[in-house]
Each structure stands twice: as C-alpha cells, then as structure tokens.
Amino acid sequence: MRLPPHILVVNGIKVRRPVFLLGAPHSGTDLMARALKRSPGFHVTMGRASVAHVVHAFARKPSIGRTSGAVRVMRDALAESWQVLPGSCGQCAEPCREAGGVTGAGPCVVTGDVTRFGDGSPDLIYSAPVLLRAFPDARFVQLIRDGRDVAADMMADPACLAWFRPAMLTEQTEFPNAFLGVNKDEHLDRWKAMPAAGKCALRWRSAVRLSAELRRTLPAEQLLTIRYEDLVLEPGHAVTTLTEFLETRVPKVALYTRAPKVGSWRTRLRPDDLELVEKVGREELKRLGYPKS
C-alpha cells in the first residue's frame, strides 16, 4: 500500500487543499488565476520557470509522470514557485506579475497573510494525475471554452505556435502524446504537414478529453468545471460557484478585464481554418454543446 506524501511546508506554512487551474491553452485559466490572486489568504503563481520546465518535461515524455520520483519533482517545483522571498516576483512570468499588480521585484504577498496556495501555469492539465498524487487533498478548477475561439487565440500567440516547430520534437517525445494531440507516432508525418489551425484544434481536443476523464474520476468536492463563456458573460454567477467550491471569497472585480470576446472566431478564423478546426474537434464541439457554424 502506497502511503500518501507528507504535508509540504512552504514559508513555514503547511500546504493544504492547494488549488490548481486546468484547461486547454487560452481557455481562461489566466482570468481565474487573476481572481484567485486577489482572494484573501491565497498565494497563486502562474508560469514560474520551475513549474513550467517540469510540466513540459512530463508533457513530452508522459512516462516520466508515472514514475515514483515524479511526485517529489512536482512538489519541489511548486515549493520553489511558492517561496515568498525578496525579489521573487522578478522570476515570475509577466501575466503573473501583472495580475498581482507588481511593478518592482516584489514579493506580491506577505507571508503572514498566506493560508492557501494555488497555481495556474499554462499546460498544467497534462500533469493533473501527478498533481493528484502529490496533493491528494487538492482542488481542481478546470475551464472549458469553445475550441474555435481557443484555436483563434492560439494562432495569434507565438508561444503556442512555437510548440509546433519541428525542432520541438525530440527523441524524448513519446506517443500517445496528449500535449500534441497525436495518438500514434505513425501519425506524426500527417501532424507535421497539418496547418497550424489543425494542430491547435488537436491540442484543444486532447485537453477537453483529459477534462472529461477528470470529471469521470474525481469526486464533485474535488473538481469544479466552469465554462469560459460563463466566466466572461456571467462573472457574478461564476464567482459565486467558485466561492462555494473553494470555501473562500473570490472577488469578481478581477474578471472585469479585457478578456477575449466569446465567439470572436467568427471574424478571426479564415474559412479554410474554420473548416479544419470544426473537422478535428467535431465530436467534442457537439458533446460540449457548441453549435456548428
């Protein structure tokens, strides 16, 4: 019988019920993280290098995440990310610094005020099984968004497109690979020849399938699913739901920001790209109730 990991202590504070924000790229985890960063007692990080390196290593080579050492590696990465030190915010990604209102080196929180921790780093969903093993009492909030809007935003994001460069595929890349959305290595040539819109749709499709698996396996008290559209169009209702789930006050004012509009794919995706995205994500778009164009 495998014993649960010992309680992690960061800044002299026991890490209990940490919150992790999950979703496909550009699904709204950054908006959610912005709100949680302003919640009383929360210290939420986004995209710290220590976490990003581990998450992407697990994404490229999923077998690493199934090893006995994966839990320790993930906990160490998050412990480093959550450290509150003079100048620590200087190591944060710009979205995290901006969400925390940091103009200098930080830190953005006072250690004595912190009671809970969270992380909203991009691509965290691919490490969800490791996070659950590392923190059995964790709470997960996953964001679902129309795959066409996701694809439109991904195609305008150089950081997302960079993962599609051939140089990013190394000998360590394993298949099936949820991060790329490629099930078999023999499909790799087709993936390489696919336009960027199709690759974006594959990543979205893979992420929402992982989200569906989490809904099947995690109890309701540990997992909350929120649609991006509700977060943007009905922030008050979304915040109420989140507040009840996390048992903490979440300010909705943080959600009143320049968030990408719902349905902007109608004017942003070229006809050929739209056709390809809808072809790749047809089953998931239908299952999630997103109407066909």
Q: pLDDT digits over 218-253, tens only? A: 999 999 999 999 999 998 999 999 999 999 998 887
Picking from 137, 127, 140, the residue whose alpha carbon sits closest to that of residue 8 is 137
Q: What is the share, in percent, of the chain residues with pLDDT greater than 90? A: 67
Q: Indicate whether 120 pLDDT > 90.
A: yes
Specify the DSSP class assigned to residue 248: S
**Which stretches of 158-239 are assigned E, i.e. beta strand?**
223-227
Q: Give me the torsion for CA of 16, 19, 20, 23, rounded to 10°.
A: 160
User: Which of 30-39, 171-180, 282-291 is predicted least confidently?
Assistant: 171-180
Instruction: Note the pLDDT of residue 133.
Output: 95
Q: Where are the beta strands (DSSP E) in the chain?
A: 9-10, 13-14, 19-23, 42-45, 116-119, 139-144, 223-227
- pLDDT for res 106: 65
Of the pLDDT bands very low, low, confident and very high (cuts 50, 70, 90), residue 89 is confident
pTM over 0.75: yes
pLDDT value of residue 251: 85
* Per-residue pLDDT at 131: 96
Classify residue 36 as exposed, middle or buried by CB count within 10 Å of its CB (0-12, 13-18, 19+). Answer: buried
Q: How confident is the model at residue 105 (pLDDT cuts 50, 70, 90)?
A: low
Mean pLDDT of 177-197: 87
48 contacts 96 by C-beta, under 8 angstroms:
yes
Rounded to the nearest integer, the mean pLDDT of the chain is 90
Model confidence band, residue 123 (pLDDT cutoffs 50, 70, 90):
very high
**Residue 211 buriedness (CB in 10 A; 0-12 / 13-18 / 19+):** buried
**Cβ neighbours for 219, distance < 8 A, ≥ 6 positions apart:** none
Give all domains of the chain, ordered by start, each with its CATH number.
Answer: 1-145+220-260 (3.40.50), 149-218+263-292 (no CATH)
CA distance 275 to 219: 36
| Average pLDDT score over residue span 93-108 | 71
Which amino acid belongs to residue 28? G
